[in-house]
Amino acid sequence: MAVAPVICIDGPSGSGKGTLCQMLALELGWHLLDSGALYRLVGMAADKRKLDFDDEAAVAALAADLDVAFLPGQQGEPSRVMLDGVDVSGELRTETTGMLASRVAVLPAVREALLQRQRDFAQLPGLVADGRDMGTVVFPDAPLKVFLTASAEERARRRFMQLKEKGDSVNLAALLEEIRARDKRDSERQHAPLKAADDALLIDSSDLGIQDVFERVMAQAKARFVAS
């Protein structure tokens, strides 16, 4: 059976990974994986099914059997996340769901179940995988790995603008502090810390537009995957 090609896009929160992955998946006609959303989905599903979060085996079994799909949005639109055939994109990004995700993410059996679940997304014609350990842990043999980053200040500014556009009341200094704290947690965690794979293409998007980043990565993708 043919092996599906994988493009891994790793990096910290706010670096532009999600938008880049959507653009790549649409251009290539490939599948999309938002790995960070999986923990939120497990937490949401466990809560809806009234599972005991201390029952690690039950939560892990749920994680292994999630009916999940990630659908790239059209240009300028966010991707849609489907759980059991229902669009849960809005509920997925709430603070409540984030707290549920934190409760399941500390369970080793859940992390192991989701490792295989993520690998199962690699199907033909190909997969674009968005995450923090796609190239180092989940798909270490992927032929194209990108580590996309940006300064903490720029990422805070982007998030500030996103929230302001939604009408939310936000504080830029507080956002910057949150991003720095999250970076520290992600890079120092024991399991699958945030770091670039040794063979990853490093891109700092602090002073780049998303179109510039997209064109750079697409050039690499065409060189590896698209027949001349």
Q: Looking at the 3D structure of the chain, how many domains does it have?
A: 2
Residue 10: phi and psi, rounded to 5, are -110, 165
Point out the domain boundary residue: 124, 142, 169: 124
pLDDT < 50 positions in the chain: 228
Looking at the structure, do residues 52 and 65 belong to the same domain, yes or no? yes
Looking at the structure, do residues 132 and 24 belong to the same domain, yes or no? yes
- What kind and span of H or E run contains 159? helix 152-165
Looking at the structure, do residues 19 and 106 belong to the same domain, yes or no? no
Looking at the structure, do residues 157 and 167 belong to the same domain, yes or no? yes
Within 13 Å and on the Cβ side, how many CA atoms surround 69? 9
pLDDT at 159: 84
CB atoms within 10 A of CB 160: 18
Looking at the structure, do residues 134 and 114 belong to the same domain, yes or no? no
Looking at the structure, do residues 117 and 51 belong to the same domain, yes or no? yes
215 is a domain residue: yes
Looking at the structure, do residues 91 and 203 belong to the same domain, yes or no? no
51 is a domain residue: yes
227 is a domain residue: no
Looking at the structure, do residues 52 and 62 belong to the same domain, yes or no? yes
Looking at the structure, do residues 24 and 65 belong to the same domain, yes or no? no
pLDDT at 24: 95
Q: Which residues span the domain enclosing 160?
A: 1-29+127-222
For residue range 143-184, what is the model confidence (pLDDT) as tens digits? 999 999 999 999 999 888 888 887 888 889 988 988 888 788
Looking at the structure, do residues 155 and 196 belong to the same domain, yes or no? yes
Looking at the structure, do residues 184 and 78 belong to the same domain, yes or no? no
91 is a domain residue: yes
Looking at the structure, do residues 14 and 49 belong to the same domain, yes or no? no
The C-alpha atoms of residue 88 and residue 54 are separated, in whole angstroms, by 24
